[in-house]
Amino acid sequence: MTASDDDLAAGGGLLHRRTLLRGGVLAGGLGAAFAARAADGIGEGSPETMRVPGAPFSGYGVPAHWRGDIKRSIGAVPDRPGTGASRTPLERLEGTITPAGLHYERHHNGIPDIDPAAHTLIVHGLVKQPLVFSLDALLRYPMHSRAAFVECAGNSGGMIAPQPAQTTAGGLHGLVSCSEWTGVPLSLLLDEAGVDPRATWLLAEGGDAAGMSRSVPLWKCRDDAMIALYQNGEPIRPEQGFPMRLLLPGFQGNMNVKWLRRLKLTVGPTFTKDETSRYTELMPDGKAREFMVEMGVKSVITRPSFGLNMQGPGLYEISGLAWSGAGKIAKVEVSADGGKSWAQAALNGPVQDKALTRFRLPWRWQGAPSLLLSRATDEHGNVQPKRADWLAQYAPGQAYQFNAIAAWQVEAGGGIKHAYA
Amino acid sequence: MPTLKLAALSLILMAGVAVAATPQSPGLGRPATPTEVQAVDISVPPDGSTLPPGSGSVAQGAAVFEANCQMCHGPAGVGGPNDRLTGGVGTLTSPKPIKTVNSFWPYATTVYDYVRRAMPLVAPQSLSNNDVYAVVAYLLSVDGVAPKDAVLDAKTLPLVKMPNRDGFVSWEARYRPKTAAR
């Protein structure tokens, strides 16, 4: 419909607010002309979605509104909205790639809004030539894409509580997510700056209000580290470090410094706050492990799990996630009798290095109480420990890098509780 | 396909893979000026080599703490809504270990680095270098890690011996692949 002069409400082409409304009525009228269905048309009995044209295109799609309740669960420090975490709802997702908007978040003082045109990455310290890289420059470098999980070192830390917390798989273990990351191999930038042989670590620093900073061993930087610019095919999300983050596959989430602005080559570690008070683990003898940089081998059954109750005896698929910071998953075993007997689950390939791997196993549930466990082994022979064995390594209250076997108690009625094995 | 051709093809493929593994760099990094480097080099390692000029005393630090920190960390760093900062010295082998700056942190430089970059939470990087020296001196003095009349500066701060200085074991080498150069 073209607007007539009568529709003008002000200068510059502003139309009366009811113009569109009238247009709508007109279109409705036109539609009505076609609405009469032939008596023998097949529309009778067809779903409405086949009889009415669907919604138009959109610039950026969103999930089905029917599933609008699939959300991250947020746990912020009271009155400090920028410090805390939000967790991936693992039990509501399938496959191995986490949608970017559901990737877990851990920020220490909020998400900065960084202008990509003004942002730079500076490489300095023990190098021949300190260098500044703009985002535009980095976008011209050869890139590499790979899947990698990122897991917060505090993930599953709730499992040190004396009683099992009654919450979902995501609520317990949702500080892990997996994406396809694309970026520039860090070794390229290091070679360009020319690393002094005395350097064995570097300090990575973010441009956020926590000035997040971590020391990274140089061998990792030369191995598989990248400056990630894309996540699941699109520019990396603000919550994940836009415009760039350090990606250290398999290393503590916190070391994958977001909003990366600086890399300083150093002789040794800088001993930042987040490798001192945080992300270190006290042992019973009063000494603390530091630089426990790599995440352990781990698995979680996501279905059935707390909140996804059984619907009567019958055939089910047990589905879960396994991962290891050391490499590929070699096998996942599942027990339905609390660990007395184990069956090997199928790994739904491709099984990728330091990425989430989906495992599956058919299960005929007869309606009896069952304690469901999963136990992962990686390609280097690392096996998930029992909870008691994990706890015995450390002093009371230590919760970082918890990777012990997790359990779900399926009750006779089909209800599911979180349990310890 | 004759075997020779196959072998040639696999050679080409292998060469292709090798090229992909070590891609060429376009070399687009621009040299950073010393001023640019200095402006961002805010991290302070244990040797204190990047500590700024200036100094601060325990007495000045008590005032800085009361005005800028106490509401979140409590009086003298205990009992606030956020992290406990002092006390707990000697508890690390007890059934209830209390980790604080004074009981757990191995280096005083870390306190300077962190407070200067990230605190107070609501206005990070708003304190002067002198105020940061002062508030660090104050926090350390609460447990006698620094004397009540301490004045900290770039020379004296790295010399402070934290109670748990030797309390850490590095786990990093356990993850280093045998093949990896350092």
Q: Is the pTM of this model over 0.95?
A: no
Residue A337 has pLDDT above 80, yes or no: yes
Identify whether the C-beta of residue A254 lies closer than 8 Å to the C-beta of residue A153.
yes
Pairwise CA distance, residues A170 & B6, whole Å: 51
ipTM of the complex: 0.89
Identify whether the C-beta of residue B146 lies closer than 8 Å to the C-beta of residue B86: no
Q: What is the secondary structure of A85-144 as a DSSP string?
A: EEE--GGG--SSPPPGGGS-EEESS------TTT-EEEEEESBSS-EEEEHHHHTTS--E
User: What pLDDT sits at residue B14?
Assistant: 44
- Beta carbons of B41 and A264 less than 8 Å apart: yes
- Does the pLDDT of residue A26 top 80, yes or no? no
Å between A263 CA and nearest CA of chain B: 10
**Per-residue model confidence (pLDDT) at position A163:** 97
List A residues 99-128 in contact with B (Cβ-Cβ < 8 A): 108-109, 122-124
Instruction: In whole angstroms, give the CA distance from residue A132 to residue A142.
Output: 17
Mean pLDDT of A34-63: 89
- Which chain B residues touch A133 with a CB distance below 8 Å? 28-30
Place of tokens 């893979």: B17
**Beta-carbon separation of B40 and A262 below 8 A:** yes
Residue A45 binned pLDDT confidence (cut-offs 50, 70, 90): confident
Is B36 within 8 Å of A77 when comparing Cβ atoms?
A: no
Q: Indicate the SS3 state at residue B8.
A: helix
Answer yes or no: is pLDDT of A285 > 70. Answer: yes
**Sheet with A370-378: strands ordered across:** A343-344, A329-335, A370-378, A407-410, A416-419
Per-residue pLDDT tens over the stretch A229-261: 999 999 999 999 999 999 999 999 999 999 999
Restricting to B residues 18-37, those with a Cβ less than 8 Å away from any Cβ of A are 23-32, 36-37
The count of other CB atoms within 10 Å of the CB of residue B175 is 19
Q: Contacts of residue B40 in chain A, CB cutoff 8 Å?
A: 122, 205, 261-262
Give the percent of chain A with pLDDT over 70.
92
State how far the alpha carbon of A89 is from the alpha carbons of A72, A168, A169, A395, in Å. Answer: 6, 8, 7, 30
Q: Is the peptide bond before B120 cis (omega within 30 degrees of 0)?
A: yes
Tokens (6 digits) for B26: 């376009």
pLDDT tens for residues B111-149? 999 999 999 999 999 999 999 999 999 999 999 999 999
- The answer on pLDDT for A36 being more than 90 is no
Task: Determine whether the interchain pair B118/A129 forms a contact, defined as Cβ–Cβ distance below 8 Å.
Answer: no
- Name the token pair of A295: 């995440």
Count of helices and strands (H, E) across chain A = 6, 24
Distance (Å) from the alpha carbon of A184 to chain B's nearest alpha carbon: 10
Mean pLDDT throughout A93-117? 98
**Within the 94-123 window of chain B, which residues sit less than 8 Å (CB to CB) from chain A?**
95-97, 99, 101, 104-107, 109-110, 113-114, 117-118, 121
- Where are any strands of DSSP class E within A152-254? 176-185, 201-206, 213-217, 226-231, 234-235, 245-247
CA distance B100 to chain A (A): 8
Around Cβ A117, how many Cβ atoms within 10 Å?
9
pLDDT of A209 over the 90 cut: yes
Q: Hey, what domains does chain A have and what are their CATH numbers?
A: 121-289 (3.90.420.10), 298-419 (2.60.40.650)
pLDDT tens digits, B48-92: 999 999 999 999 999 999 999 999 999 999 999 999 999 999 999
Confidence of residue A77 (pLDDT cuts 50, 70, 90): confident
Grade residue A7 by pLDDT with cuts at 50, 70 and 90. Answer: low
CB < 8 Å to A137, chain B: 28-30
- Per the CB < 8 A criterion, the answer to whether A174 and A104 are in contact is yes
* Domains parsed from chain B with CATH numbers: 43-168 (1.10.760.10)
Residues B86 and A223: their CA atoms lie apart, in Å, by 40
Phi, psi torsion values for A120, nearest 5 degrees: -135, 155
B11 to chain A, closest Cα gap in Å: 23
| Chain B interface mutation, best of A271, A278, A290, A400, highest count of B Cβ atoms under 10 Å | A271
Q: What is the pLDDT of residues A131-169, one digit of tens each?
A: 999 999 999 999 999 999 999 999 999 999 999 999 999
Q: How far apart are CA B175 and CA A222, in angstroms?
A: 14
Q: A363 Cβ partners below 8 Å, 6+ apart?
A: A315, A316, A317, A318, A336
* Residue with the two structure tokens 């800028």: B68
| Minimal C-alpha gap between A420 and chain B (Å) | 22
Inter-residue contact A281 to A293 (CB < 8 Å)? no
In the predicted model, what is the mean pLDDT of residues A286-305? 98
Sort out which chain B residues have CB atoms less than 8 A from A140's CB and list them: 26, 28
Quote the mean pLDDT of chain A: 93
Q: Do B181 and A222 touch (CB under 8 A)?
A: yes
Q: How far is B74 from chain A (nearest CA, A)?
A: 15
Between A and B, how many CB-CB pairs are < 8 A?
171
Distance (Å, whole) CA A178 – CA A359: 15
